[in-house]
Amino acid sequence: MNNEAIMDVMGREGSQGEVAQLISQGRIDPGAMRPWVGKDGKSYVTTFAGGDAKKPENYKSVPINTNATLRPYEWRQLDEVLVPISESRLNGIKDLISRGLVYNLGNAMGTTVLEWHDVSDALEAVMTMDGVTRGLNDRQEFTAHYLPIPIIHADYEINSRALAASRSLGNPLDTSMAERAVRKVADKLEKMLFTDLTYSFGGGTIYSYTNYTYRNTVTLDTHWDHSGVTGKQIVDGVREMKQASIADYHFGPWVLYIPLGYETVMDQDYSDSKGSNTIRERILQISGIQDVKVVDTLTADNVLLVQMTSDVVRLVQGLGIQNVQWEVEGKFITKYKVLTIAVPQLRSDAENHCGIVHASFA
């Protein structure tokens, strides 16, 4: 299995990657990529018939010609490894989801690129004595932007002999490869948000917090893990970042993201003389800062203060993380993928005001 999850993209100018090309051609339906073996030995897929998606009676089994290899309970065993692993790794992505900063695509398979607009300011109030003099009547201007829609996936195989042995002996299915694939997909999502990853395709660009063009940058004097740093110096640095956000017309609420090297620094006493608060607790006393989060994909000596509102950042999501079966045509090989369609979208207004503050150290 590859050490990294693969990111295929679909854009206005075409598709890049095997999965993206098949999806854009309408040849992939994720619902049909989970065939299962029935008690009669035939292959089926489960389709949604409409109504309440939570009611089992609204689903039906449809026979297919695809060669299924897994039984329903074996699919469930693979799916059970998705949630705990993906949640343990998706600190930044989970923040977006928990705060409702998600834009769900209505047709993820048919969406090759997300087009979105920012709007310029317009009109101006005037002050007159008669109320008759006409004020300015300028019009708002709409500017179109484009965002590539990635398909992030990691491949794995289930040994047919091991599968047969688990069935005959009644042992649970070995899900170690599926767990590893989930970790790779989760890592890729976090890196898209926190590392120096930029990807341009189809007229649009995917940015991260650390390289978004319109983010606010602050240079702090003292490294937070320096042996002589004080709690006050760290808190003053956070206040400077907050002021940079306010100066760019973004007033919170914020989350402070720090790299792994600052985790234990946050647990130190804010004051050597008082010892009543840790540095983390003192930061959380700053108005508008809701949380301090450690991100293991954020490189050393980089700190982020992000306003957690949809006009600053949101997760564009078309397909949640899930297992699918993957047929390699002409090779008679059945593989499996952990697959998701998702991308973080960073945003600024028409005047390039932004609620992301990126601090580094001199």
Q: How far is it, in rounded angstroms, from Cα 323 to Cα 97? A: 20
- DSSP secondary structure letter of residue 242: H
Q: Does domain 6-121+134-208+313-346 have CATH number 3.30.2400.30?
A: yes
pLDDT digits (tens, 9 = 90+) for 295-319: 989 999 999 999 999 999 999 988 8
pLDDT digits (tens, 9 = 90+) for 99-127: 999 998 876 555 566 776 666 555 566 66
Number of Cβ within 10 Å of residue 273's Cβ equals: 6
- DSSP secondary structure letter of residue 278: B
Give the rounded distance of the alpha carbon of 350 from its chain centre: 24
Of 208, 144, 251, 245, the C-alpha closest to 346 is 208
- Looking at the chain, the domain(s) classified CATH 3.30.2320.10 span 216-312+351-361
pLDDT digits (tens, 9 = 90+) for 30-54: 666 787 788 888 887 887 777 776 7
pLDDT digits (tens, 9 = 90+) for 62-97: 887 777 778 887 778 788 777 776 666 678 999 999
Which residues pair with residue 356 across a beta bridge? 306
Token representation of residue 348: 């600024």
Q: How far is it, in rounded angstroms, from Cα 43 to Cα 217? A: 56
Backbone angles phi, psi at 165, to 5 degrees: -65, -40
Q: Using an 8 Å Cβ cutoff, are 48 and 58 in contact?
A: yes
With helix as H, strand as E and coil as C, how does 168-192 read?
Answer: HHCCCCCCHHHHHHHHHHHHHHHHH
Token representation of residue 251: 């007033």
Q: Which of 3.40.50.300, 3.30.2320.10, 2.40.50.140, 3.30.565.10 would CATH assign to domain 216-312+351-361?
A: 3.30.2320.10
- DSSP secondary structure letter of residue 299: P
Number of Cβ within 10 Å of residue 192's Cβ equals: 24
Asked whether residue 25 carries a pLDDT value surpassing 90, the answer given is no
Asked whether residue 10 carries a pLDDT value surpassing 60, the answer given is no
pLDDT band per the 50, 70, 90 thresholds, residue 238: very high
Residues of the chain with pLDDT > 70, as a percent, come to 76
Which residues pair with residue 151 across a beta bridge? 8, 341
User: What are the start-end ranges of the H helices in the chain?
Assistant: 18-24, 72-79, 82-89, 91-98, 160-169, 176-194, 231-247, 279-284
- Looking at the chain, the domain(s) classified CATH 3.30.2400.30 span 6-121+134-208+313-346
Long-range Cβ pairs for the range 231-240 (8 Å, 24+)? 231/268, 231/269, 231/270, 231/271, 231/279, 231/282, 232/270, 234/265, 234/279, 234/283, 235/270, 235/279, 235/282, 235/283, 235/286, 237/303, 237/359, 238/283, 238/286, 238/289, 238/305, 239/286, 240/359
Residues 6+ apart with CB under 8 A from 114: 103, 105, 146, 147, 149, 204, 316, 345
